[in-house]
């Protein structure tokens, strides 16, 4: 709880100090209470989304966007996103911030690409983006390995996931 107190000057009744203005902000209770003399004004703070809510929202947004991908990419993408979000569940605040930034960028790019696909003739689109050399150089060995495995999976003729679209056998 964060408490902030402001006291006013001495009243005319001797040396008795009486608080004229009190401000109490409680982050835990999400309230602000302001006391002026004997009048009390209290209000509820607007509820801001927590980090966990932001992560869940982004995760759901990505899974919804994956519905627009070809089925074998959807299955691969869903599995990869699930693993990455689990892997970063206990990340440091700095890592979490970078993680969220990168996945937000991915969601934005995927939204643009799926939107272009929907409005194109034939409904076939291009998904993904090139990775700059600078970005590759910043990756750790583990990340390079994951990227290589992901690339290998996308190039397979027989994907790890056997998915049959409606109407096919």
Each residue's pLDDT expressed in tens, for the chain with a length of 169 residues:
444 444 433 344 455 555 455 555 555 555 655 555 555 565 655 665 688 888 999 999 999 999 888 888 898 899 999 999 999 989 898 999 999 999 999 999 998 888 888 777 776 778 888 888 998 898 889 889 988 888 888 777 655 555 555 555 4
Helix (H, G, I), strand (E, B) or coil at 30: coil
Residue 166 domain flag: no
Same domain, 129 and 112: yes
Task: Note down the domain range covering 115.
Answer: 51-155
Do residues 59 and 135 share a domain?
A: yes
Residues 65 and 10 in one domain: no
Q: Is residue 118 part of a domain?
A: yes
Q: Tell me the sheet residues that pair with 2.
A: 25
Which pairing describes strands 2-6 and 39-44: parallel, antiparallel, or unpaired? unpaired
Residue 74, in any domain of the structure: yes
Same domain, 134 and 91: yes
Q: Is residue 168 part of a domain?
A: no
| Residue 18 lies inside a defined structural domain of this protein | yes
65 and 136 assigned to the same domain: yes
Alpha carbon distance, N-terminus to C-terminus of the chain: 61
Tell me, yes or no, whether 59 lies in a domain. Answer: yes
Largest CA distance in the chain: 94
Q: Same domain, yes or no, for 89 and 149?
A: yes
Total of domains in the chain: 2
Residues 84 and 8 in one domain: no
For residues 93 and 76, membership in a common domain is answered with yes
pTM of the model: 0.60
**Residues 134 and 67 placed together within one structural domain of the fold:** yes
Bridge partners of residue 22, in order along the sequence: 5, 35
What is the spatial distance between Cα 82 and Cα 62, in angstroms, rounded to a whole number?
A: 10
Are residues 17 and 62 located together in one domain of the fold?
A: no
CA proximity to 124, closest of 69, 161, 76, 86: 69
| Residue 102: closest CA among 51, 151, 58, 69 | 58
Residues 145, 105 share a domain: yes
Position of tokens 């679209």?
Answer: 165
């Amino acid at each position: 709880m964060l408490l902030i107190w402001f006291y006013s000057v001495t009243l005319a009744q001797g040396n008795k100090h009486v608080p004229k203005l009190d401000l109490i902000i409680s982050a835990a209770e999400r309230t602000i209470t302001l006391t002026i003399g004997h009048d009390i004004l209290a209000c509820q703070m607007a509820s801001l989304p927590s980090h966990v809510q932001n992560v869940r929202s982004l995760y759901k947004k990505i899974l919804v966007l994956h519905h627009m991908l070809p089925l074998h990419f959807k299955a691969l993408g869903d599995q990869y996103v699930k693993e990455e979000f689990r892997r970063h569940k206990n990340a440091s605040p700095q890592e979490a911030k970078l993680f969220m930034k990168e996945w937000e960028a991915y969601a934005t790019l995927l939204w643009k690409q799926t939107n272009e696909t929907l409005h194109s003739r034939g409904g076939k689109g291009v998904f993904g983006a090139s990775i700059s050399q600078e970005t590759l150089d910043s990756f750790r060995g583990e990340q390079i390995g994951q990227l290589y495995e992901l690339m290998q999976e996308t190039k397979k003729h027989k994907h790890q996931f056997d998915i049959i679209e409606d109407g096919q056998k």
